[in-house]
């Protein structure tokens, strides 16, 4: 039921998804002469955080159509969140039923923005925590767990660096609070350190890769352009380059970003249901209590991980301009998943009832989100008409003045031009290939465009328009933009809803 919403709708309400799918299509067909891809793009032969998502879905694309391959990947992420949490809970010696309560946190703000790489890194980060604990506590298989830890930590970086920031605090916390079997017999610092060495060695490859990537990234000269979108406004960590939200704003937004997909607020109901089950478990655990195999410090390991994520949410800036955007907000989902899983241990007799209650939350989640996703998919059928009127190998300028949806609260039509470009093997005025974290780059000068895809009013036909043969206009009549050119050198070839597709004659 957690993945059902991904499969009952043809189009998914994710802002950046059209851009991701376009570049995955480019990566998969980089040498295809029936497209413009070989003319404009090349692989970026460097380590970038988007490698994992793009290359995995591109590999699946050899077996499945692209959109189907992407659904398989997203399904693995949604299922992976509670499964990785269950693995961590089992490693800590705790009941695993609370892991099912994490399903709603696979969606929400980061999912809706289309931060697929970050979302995919969350299960891997939680899995790293479980592998780290297993390496410490399972004396008979330490080498095996350490190898798994090394591979998993590298995989986190291959998807997104922000989850690595959490592990930079979470793994030391687990190291300090987890006893190893040899602690009861050993004396002296060296004897106590020896059984912990495999866990530290397992972390080493990921740390080395992170330091190398940071050194490479920070070693590159940064273009400083105060006030310009997607540019640094000053040195990386200077006050003018950091954008913070107030504590009060973060506090007010914490629950909102966990479930903020739909205008009608219906996706809040699964969140409320999870909160009720968690509250019942909290009361049962505190009032009646269950077996506590963990020590007085170790029992707070899961809670400590959740609080680390909470601190990151409140303490980090919202933007580091030119480097990382929506930084602190993304930790809300991780914090919520870890906190809900840290409810006190209840009596074994209560576990099955709580498990069934958690399953009921999953049923509610699948029903509510499935209904909303289908409603958005019906709204997004406007793309079909536009694609049919698009010529092969198009150069598409996206002039999206109206990004909103009647179903989804997010600007899910912002990257509509990328849908047309992907379907017909073309290019758009804005692409993630412009960013250093993409595994693709432009081979020459990028297509001319305005500074931000959010500012179509800055489009100048005289300096930009000559490059393009298609213009997708949403939220404004083409006559307001092109004037007398419309009907002479340009013509409207499709009009559906609030969209006009204009082609060069």
Delimit the domains of the chain by residue range.
46-219+245-375, 382-504
pLDDT score, position 185? 64
**How does 356-391 read in b/e, with b if 16+ C-beta sit within 10 Å?**
ebbeebbebbbbbbbbbbbbbbebbebbeebbeebe
DSSP letter at 295?
A: -
pLDDT score, position 226? 80
Tokens 């997104």 belong to which residue? Answer: 160
Is 407 in contact with 262 (CB distance < 8 Å)?
yes
Helix (H, G, I), strand (E, B) or coil at 504: strand
pLDDT score, position 216? 65
Residue 130: which residues within 8 A CB-CB, separation 6 or more? 84, 87, 88, 90, 91
Is 27 in contact with 43 (CB distance < 8 Å)?
yes
How far apart CA 232 and CA 320 sit, in angstroms, is 8
Is 472 in contact with 382 (CB distance < 8 Å)?
no
How far apart CA 411 and CA 263 sit, in angstroms, is 12
Neighbours of 318 (CB within 10 A): 16
pLDDT score, position 286? 85
Token output for 382: 């406007």
Question: What stretch of H or E contains 186?
Answer: none
Residues of the chain with pLDDT below 50 are: none
Q: Can you list the positions of beta strands (E) in 14-170?
A: 41-43
Q: Taking the CA atoms of the chain, what radius of gyration do you get in angstroms? A: 25
Neighbours of 298 (CB within 10 A): 17
Tokens 């906190």 belong to which residue? Answer: 339
Is 459 in contact with 468 (CB distance < 8 Å)?
no
Is 30 in contact with 37 (CB distance < 8 Å)?
yes
pLDDT score, position 220? 60
| Maximum C-alpha span of the chain | 88
**How does 75-99 read in b/e, with b if 16+ C-beta sit within 10 Å?**
eebbebbbbbbbbbbebbbbbbbbb
Closest Cα to residue 98, out of 109, 90, 108, 110?
90
pLDDT score, position 290? 66
Surface-to-core class of residue 445, CB atoms within 10 Å of its CB (0-12 exposed, 13-18 middle, 19+ buried): exposed
Closest Cα to residue 213, out of 82, 90, 46, 363?
46
How far apart CA 121 and CA 354 sit, in angstroms, is 28
DSSP letter at 430?
A: -
Surface-to-core class of residue 49, CB atoms within 10 Å of its CB (0-12 exposed, 13-18 middle, 19+ buried): buried
Characterise 482 by phi-psi region: left (phi > 0), alpha (psi -120 to 50), beta (else): alpha
How far apart CA 410 and CA 416 sit, in angstroms, is 13
């Amino acid at each position: 039921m957690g993945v059902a919403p991904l499969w009952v709708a043809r189009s998914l309400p994710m802002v950046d998804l059209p851009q991701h799918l376009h570049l995955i299509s480019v990566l998969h067909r980089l040498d295809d002469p029936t497209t413009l891809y070989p003319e404009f793009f090349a692989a970026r032969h460097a380590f970038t955080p988007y490698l994992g998502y793009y290359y995995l879905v591109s590999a699946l694309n050899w077996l499945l159509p692209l959109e189907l391959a992407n659904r398989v990947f997203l399904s693995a992420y949604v299922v992976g969140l509670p499964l990785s949490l269950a693995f961590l809970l089992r490693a800590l010696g705790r009941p695993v039923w609370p892991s099912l309560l994490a399903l709603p946190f696979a969606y929400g703000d980061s999912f809706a923005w289309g931060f697929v790489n970050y979302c995919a890194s969350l299960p891997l980060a939680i899995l790293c925590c479980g592998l780290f604990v297993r390496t410490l506590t399972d004396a008979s298989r330490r080498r095996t767990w350490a190898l798994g830890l090394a591979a998993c930590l590298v995989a986190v970086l291959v998807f997104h660096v922000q989850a690595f920031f959490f592990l930079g605090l979470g793994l030391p916390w687990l190291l300090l609070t987890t006893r190893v079997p040899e602690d009861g017999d050993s004396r002296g610092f060296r004897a106590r350190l020896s059984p912990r060495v495999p866990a530290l060695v397992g972390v080493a490859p990921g740390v080395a890769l992170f330091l190398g990537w940071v050194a490479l990234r920070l070693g590159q000269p940064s273009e400083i352009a105060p006030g310009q979108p997607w540019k640094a406004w000053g040195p990386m960590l200077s006050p003018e380059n950091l954008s913070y939200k107030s504590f009060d704003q973060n506090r007010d937004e914490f629950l909102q970003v966990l479930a903020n997909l739909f205008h009608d607020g219906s996706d809040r109901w699964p969140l409320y249901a999870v909160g009720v089950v968690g509250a019942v478990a909290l009361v049962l655990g505190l009032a009646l209590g269950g077996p506590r195999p963990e020590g007085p410090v170790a029992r707070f390991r899961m809670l400590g991980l959740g609080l680390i994520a909470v601190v990151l949410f409140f303490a980090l800036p919202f933007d580091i301009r030119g480097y990382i955007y929506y930084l602190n907000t993304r930790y809300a989902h991780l914090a919520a998943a870890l906190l809900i899983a840290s409810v006190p241990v209840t009596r074994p007799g209560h576990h099955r009832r709580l498990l069934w209650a958690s399953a009921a939350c999953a049923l509610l989640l699948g029903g509510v989100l499935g209904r909303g996703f289908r409603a958005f998919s019906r709204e997004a059928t406007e793309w079909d008409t536009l694609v049919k009127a698009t010529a092969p190998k198009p150069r598409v300028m996206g002039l999206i003045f109206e990004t909103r949806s009647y179903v989804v609260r997010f600007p899910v039509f912002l990257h509509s031009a990328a849908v047309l470009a992907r379907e017909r093997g073309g290019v758009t005025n804005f692409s993630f290939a412009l960013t250093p974290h993409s595994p693709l780059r432009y081979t020459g000068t990028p297509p001319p465009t305005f500074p931000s895809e959010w500012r179509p009013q800055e489009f100048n036909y005289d300096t930009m328009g000559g490059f393009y043969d298609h213009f997708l206009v949403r939220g404004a009549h083409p006559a307001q933009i092109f004037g007398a050119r419309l009907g002479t050198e340009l013509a409207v070839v499709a009009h559906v809803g609030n969209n006009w597709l204009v082609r060069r004659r």
